[in-house]
Amino acid sequence: MLKKNIFIMYAIAFLQGLVFYSSIATLYRQASGVSVFQITIIESISLVLCLIFELPWGVLADKIGYKKTMMICCTLYFVSKIIFWQASSFMGFLAERILLSVVLSGMSGVDSSILYLSCDSQDAQRVFGVYNSLGTAGLLLASLIFTIFIGADYRFSAFLTVLTYGTAAILTLFITEVKKPKASMEANAQKQFFGILRNIFKNKYLLMFLVGAALLNETHQTFTVFLSQLQYVKGGMTDKMIGAAYILITIAGLISAKSSKITEAIGARRLVNLCYALAVLSCVLLCVTSSAVASVIGILALRIAFSLFQPMQSNIQNMQVVSSDRATELSVFSVIMNSVGVSTNLIFGAVADVNLSSAFLFGAVFCLLGFILVSCWAKGTKHRFLA
């Protein structure tokens, strides 16, 4: 019966991947008068709010159940896309991002918990890989439609996105609950949350893993979603060419589904090394080039590195949950990782407004630091997954 959840979550991931304006997200905002630094300010405010909302959402999810949490979050996700569609100023995009913060903190750990508890544990990395790939497949289809049919009509692309997110919200009605809701809210929920947080800070190796993974995640997020478009324009690419490049980058993300098989073939430790090395090299390439072709290759390599690493990261995080309140514990992990993102977003945005190449150099440094931290975690804990 729970296997049904996996296919529903797959469908939701695909629909929420259908962001028709994704290939021109930065240009969309700039067309409304929002600067790159303002964009990264919005992103940082969003991450700070995610930190604030993590505690109540984690506790609430474990109280009301993961199905209801997904229903609420996907409905709010739908509303946020309506706001984005109508936004025409800094305040409009900020309002969209504030609501999105509520959504992301609510879904944090809940979607992966539903998947993890609906499948066999030994099959989890493959399931996470397919889940991520279907989101990427949605992006691919949306990018194709934008490039071939929509073109410069940015607002229409946002409207189509509203429709797909509304459909995803409807699908949450058919999820089967995987966690029995609690009869009442625990009085010591806040104490438990901060207790988990304290334990993580006492566990220096787990902290190293979370920060190291976050550095790669945030570098990928900022570069592929925002700064890549500025790099493409710098290289003389048109909107159509940017759309075509985005399609190629999106196709590369489908390799996420092969993360489990590649792990089995070469080993988890070697795959981690490969992902971080590829990320560092891609950032260095983006730093030293203004060529359109080389820029696409750099973003492509960064996308592949992240796509291979992300399912493994999700699996490792779920394997390290020790309490019965899985959503709460994963929310604590997310708090730490989002804290890293607040800093990196502001750094990337401030530096990119002055010199785009310098921002890419910072990315290389962050990914190198992330590799050192994850390597220290692997050696210090001798985690069986990386044995």
Residue 387 has a pLDDT of 52
Residue 342 has a pLDDT of 84
- Write out pLDDT tens, residues 122-181: 888 889 889 988 988 898 899 889 888 887 788 999 999 999 999 999 999 999 998 766
Domain with residues 3-177+189-386, CATH architecture: Up-down Bundle (1.20)
Q: Which two tokens stand for residue 287?
A: 């730093």
Residue 317 or 103, more confident: 103
Q: Answer yes or no: is pLDDT of 27 > 90.
A: no
Q: Answer yes or no: is pLDDT of 385 > 60.
A: no
Mean pLDDT (whole number) for 259-264? 90
Q: Which two tokens stand for residue 290?
A: 């203004």
Statement: the pTM of the whole predicted model exceeds 0.85: no
- Write out pLDDT tens, residues 299-347: 999 999 999 999 889 888 888 776 666 777 777 888 888 889 888 988 9
Residues whose CB is less than 8 angstroms from the CB of residue 21 and which lie 6 or more positions away in sequence, other chains included: 28, 146, 154, 157, 158, 161
Domains of the chain, residue spans: 3-177+189-386
Residue found under tokens 């592949």? 304
Q: Decide: 268 and 220 in contact? Cβ < 8 Å.
A: no
Per-residue pLDDT band for 1 (boundaries 50, 70, 90) equals low
305 closest CA partner among 228, 241, 216: 216
Segment among 120-124, 220-224, 345-349, 371-375 with least mean pLDDT: 120-124
Residue 79 has a pLDDT of 97
